[in-house]
A and B are shown apart, each in its own frame.
Chain A
Amino acid sequence: MKRALKLFAGAAFLTATLIVAGCSSGPSEDELAQLEALKAEVASLQKEVDAKQAEKASLQKQIAEKQAELAAATKEQDATRERLKSQQ
């Protein structure tokens, strides 16, 4: 009987130790929600940044094409001017 009591006491001590170790202080539900909202905001901003970068790249391409078009148009204008001169 004595031995049984000893065993019971040991078990109770061990259980209490484990419970204490498992239930150390963590963030509250509000704090967890705050973290989730922050994560969502970051994801949304990342999407916006990606879209803007794509728009920027597209604009840069269009500008390069337009610059080439302008150079060609100017060259064509010069050639036309020369041909008109030689016609006179």
Chain B
Amino acid sequence: MTILKESLMNFRKLFISGFILLLIAVSGSSVSAQTKMTKEEWQKEITDYTAQRDNLKKTLAQLNKDVDSLKALLASLNQKVDAVLNETKTMTGASDELRKAYDAQLSALESWIDQLARLSNQDLYARKAEIDSVQAKLDELKKSKLAALQVYHDRLQALQQKINGLRDALAKPEFLASLEKTYVVGSWKKNRDCLWNISKKKSIYNNPFMWPKIWQGNRDQIKDPDIIRKGQRLKIPTAGALTDTEKKAERKYFAKKHASGK
């Protein structure tokens, strides 16, 4: 009897454990089943996506239309721009060859003036006549019909501005001052310094006949060109032919000397 009771108890325990396991398994499968889509949900999604597709198709059709008309507009604008450019080009009546030649001449002037602009003050002063040559050639180019074209007009204007800039620079007192050399007079005994000999020096004019230039350039400190003192700092004007004033002063000096019988 006791054995039967014990076996019944064991069966009961076993049954309860099995039941709990079954319950857990069934509730798990029930939860997974709940994550699956229902027919109603499927129908709703189908409806939503169908509406989206239809809208997108409409939008795409409209966009295709827009793109086509924009392409047509762009093509027509391209044609108009080309027409205007060609018409402008033919207004001057110049052939492509003429344009090329004109362009080359203008480029040559541009590099010439750029070269002058890069020179030192001394070199620029020595080559200042070239600025007038560039100006003369530029004036010739300005007379051409091609000068009316914007591209050449702008370049000609820029070139003129560079020429004007160089001319303005040359006219400034500080430019001239930067060219001025000075010479400190030595003694007659040791250096044999007089205006004639100073002018003869290679580092000065390399030409004794230029002495009136030094005299006239230093009128504030030289009254008599035969008298200069040791230690005097003389300004050496820029080299070049004697000016009329300098020639006149020279003549006056020799006349006076002749008159005094020296």
Give chain B residues whose Cβ lies under 8 Å from the Cβ of A56: 63, 66-67, 70
Given A7-B19, A73-B85, also A45-B71 (CB < 8 A): no
Known: A18-B30, A42-B49, A46-B56. A27 touches B42 (CB 8 A): yes
Of B144-152, B187-195, B215-223, B226-234, the one contacting chain A is B144-152
Question: Which residues of A (64-88) have their CB < 8 Å from a CB of B?
Answer: 66-67, 69-70, 73-74, 76-77, 79-81, 83-84, 87
Among A39, A77, A87, which residue has its beta carbon within 8 angstroms of that of B145? A87
User: Which residues of chain A come closer than 8 Å to B52, judged between CB atoms?
Assistant: 42
Complex Cα distance, B59 from A45, in Å, reads 10
Say yes or no: A79 contacts B150, CB within 8 Å. yes
**A42-70 vs B: 1/0 string, CB under 8 Å?**
10011011001101100110110011011
Q: Indicate if the CB atoms of A15 and B42 lie closer than 8 Å.
A: no
Q: Tell me the complex Cα distance, A19–B26, Å.
A: 7
Residue of A nearest to B75 (CB): A66
**Inter-chain contact total with CB atoms closer than 8 Å:** 136
In contact, B80 and A70 (Cβ under 8 angstroms): yes
B residues sitting closer than 8 Å to A (CB atoms) are 8, 11-12, 15-16, 19, 22-23, 26-27, 29-30, 32-34, 36-39, 42, 45-46, 49-50, 52-53, 56-57, 59-60, 63-64, 66-67, 70-71, 73-74, 77-78, 80-81, 84-85, 87-88, 91-92, 143, 145, 147-150, 153
Grouping DSSP codes into helix (H, G, I), strand (E, B) and loop, the A interface class, with mixed when no group exceeds half, is: helix
Q: Give the nearest-CB partner of B18 in chain A.
A: A11
| Listed A/B pairs (5) with beta-carbon separation below 8 Å | A7-B16, A22-B34, A26-B37, A35-B49, A76-B150
Query: What's the Cα separation between A52 and B68 when bound, in Å?
Result: 11
Partner of A77, one of B11, B29, B33, B91: B91
Taking a contact as CB atoms under 8 Å apart, the answer to whether B77 and A87 are in contact is no
Check if B53 sits within 8 Å of A42, measured CB to CB.
yes
Q: Is the CB of A63 within 8 A of B73?
A: yes
Shortest Cβ gap from A24 to chain B (Å): 7
Inter-chain contacts of A73 with B (CB < 8 A): 81, 84-85, 88
